[in-house]
Amino acid sequence: MKVYKSIFKNRDFLKNQISAEDVIYYDFKSGDKSFLAVYVDSITDKNQLGELLIRPILQQQPQNFDETFKKLQIANVTPFENLSDLKDELLSGKSLLFINGETKALSCDFLAFQTRSVAEPPTSTVVKGPREGFNESIKTNLSMVRRRLKVADFSVEFLKIGKYTKTNVAICYVASIVDEKIVKDVKSKLNKIDIDGIPDSSYVAKFIVSKPTSPFRQVGNSEKPDVLVQKLLEGRVAIMVDGSPIVLTVPYMLIEDFQNPEDYFINNYRGNMVRVIRAISVLIAILLPAVFVSAQLFHLQLIPLNFLLTIVNSVKGIPLSPSFEIFFTLLIFEILNEASIRMPKYVGMALSIVGALVLGDTAVKAGIVSTPAIMIMALSGICLYTVPELVDSMSVLRLIFLTVGGSIGGYGIILTCVFLAFYLCDIENFGVPLLAPYTPLKIADLKDGVYLDFINEMKKRPQTLGSKNKTRLSNKKQVKNER
């Protein structure tokens, strides 16, 4: 539908189409000409609108559309002839300018959102290293990445997802590094999303995975620009969603969750130590409660005699069976965990007291649960949080292992491990297996796995990602001198 010559008809059309009362229609005269400015009050910088659009028109009194367009000193001005397009522009926050007697109108960008300031993300804090985190504005997030990635082939492609929300989604990659097949695959999967709205990037993640019902994460994410840049430089593709501080990265490998940005900033030996600790912690978190229960129920010979005596003494008079005892403590732990995340901060102290003293100490004294059970559960709970990204899937796994271990013992745990190994080996996204580089084995990529090599030695980008440009570090002499 074409723009009407009469600004009043245009106003009536927009008023009919958009029922929102925060859309402002401001008509004014400059010389003989009538103008109509239309903007959304809540997301427009009115100072800029007045200073950069209306004041020049009032002062210079342009007589037609072309003159107006030339005389405006604003960067983001686009002419439109179609009224429906202009409506979409208005809804995405742009300001419109209609000129009486003209069949074209201008769309100007005076967007002004209230955004959260750039702060350290709560989920990935570091002692050493950059503390900047993404916020909910896609522009701010892109600016943070751009600041770190000063290359011409850093590509950003925008698309809109959501029938109602029309959320801006940006696909970012370094064109000279990334495998083009991955980019193509990402675009095709994103284009297929047909949903009402995208409130957060996690929605997008659910649509681009190969096994949507899997309890395991298949898309990586980051809240920090420094981490994202490193991932882009390894040959990954980033997906930014407007309104979400979490940027998705694909392809994703399970080992990524064991790689904390700080590992690269601290002493390499310490970095290696913490990675091994994380791996062991995850195993402890998943298997310890199940092994403890199955050892108590079926394999007493596994427990050293002195420890066995301690357990026997502590479980004397406990009304619950070992598996129910651990289930009970697990339930309490999960409740406390859920409550501590959701509750207002000012009641946190009270919860700590209730959790630690009342439920822990008193439950033992009252003879409801035994001390070893509390200890096992606490250890498992703490270990789980050494790799926070895996908490969701690992807590489910812990429950499965506990159920199996409590019902058929150690052999059940073995069978579940076998099943899990096959299941995990089967998952791959964007052509990259979840368990890479361990299976399929890529020896060169093991330098940044549970074992962390010196950064000077990581000369190649991960082979698993199939990067076009494989070399990441080429000046050998310089590196040796620096070392």
Partner 1 sequence: MKDKNVTLKQICAIFIALLPPIKIIATPSLLAERCAEKLWFPPIILCVLDLILIFLILKASKKHDYKNAFEILCETYSTTFAKVIFFIWGTFFLSKSLIPLLEHKRLIESNFYETLQKAPVFFPFFAVCLYVAAKGVKSIGQVCQILAPVTLVSLILVLYLSISPGDYKTLLPLFNINVKNGAISALNVCLWFNDAIYLIFFTTAFKGKKHLYTKLAVCYCIPFILTIAVYVAFYAIFSSIASTQTHAVSSMSIFSLTLVNIGRFDHLAVFLLSLCSVVAIALPVSCSVKCFCVCFNVKKRIFIALAVVAILLSLTLAFENRYREVIDFYFSYLSPFVFACGYGLPLLLLGKKRGEKNALQKV
Footprint of partner 1 (CB under 8 A): 298-299, 301-305, 307-308, 408-412, 414-415, 417-419, 421-422, 425-426, 433, 435, 438-441
The DSSP code sequence of 412-466 is HHHHHHHHHHHHHHH-EETTEETTTTTTTT-GGGGGBSSSB--GGG--B--GGGT
- For residues 244 and 116, the answer to whether their CB atoms sit within 8 Å is no
- Name which of 368 and 408 has its Cβ closer to partner 1: 408
- Name which of 442 and 472 has its Cβ closer to partner 1: 442
Nearest distance from C-beta of residue 285 to partner 1, angstroms: 18
Nearest distance from C-beta of residue 218 to partner 1, angstroms: 17
Nearest distance from C-beta of residue 124 to partner 1, angstroms: 28
Nearest distance from C-beta of residue 467 to partner 1, angstroms: 20
- Name which of 30 and 464 has its Cβ closer to partner 1: 464
- Name which of 385 and 411 has its Cβ closer to partner 1: 411
**Which positions ≥6 away from 190 have C-beta within 8 Å?**
159, 161, 169, 171, 204, 207, 208, 239
Among 348, 324, 323, which residue's Cα sits nearest to residue 336? 348
- Name which of 203 and 298 has its Cβ closer to partner 1: 298
- Name which of 15 and 299 has its Cβ closer to partner 1: 299
- For residues 1 and 86, the answer to whether their CB atoms sit within 8 Å is no
Token pair for residue 95?
Answer: 């300001």
Token pair for residue 436?
Answer: 């890479």
Peptide bond into 261 cis (omega under 30): no
- Name which of 119 and 302 has its Cβ closer to partner 1: 302
Nearest distance from C-beta of residue 279 to partner 1, angstroms: 13
- Name which of 119 and 421 has its Cβ closer to partner 1: 421
- Name which of 114 and 301 has its Cβ closer to partner 1: 301
- For residues 446 and 437, the answer to whether their CB atoms sit within 8 Å is yes
Nearest distance from C-beta of residue 325 to partner 1, angstroms: 19
Nearest distance from C-beta of residue 417 to partner 1, angstroms: 6
Nearest distance from C-beta of residue 431 to partner 1, angstroms: 13
**Which positions ≥6 away from 413 have C-beta within 8 Å?**
287, 290, 291, 294, 401, 404, 405
**Which positions ≥6 away from 391 have C-beta within 8 Å?**
384, 385
Q: Does the CA dihedral 466-470-473-476 come out positive or negative? A: positive
The DSSP code sequence of 32-80 is TEEEEEEEEGGGB-HHHIIIIIIHHHHHH---SHHHHHHH---SSEEEE
- For residues 386 and 359, the answer to whether their CB atoms sit within 8 Å is no
- Residue 39, number of CB atoms within 10 A of its CB: 25
User: Distance between CA 198 and CA 204 in Å, rounded?
Assistant: 7
Tokens 């501080």 belong to residue: 245
Nearest distance from C-beta of residue 183 to partner 1, angstroms: 24
Nearest distance from C-beta of residue 312 to partner 1, angstroms: 14
User: Distance between CA 448 and CA 259 in Å, rounded?
Assistant: 8
- Name which of 269 and 422 has its Cβ closer to partner 1: 422
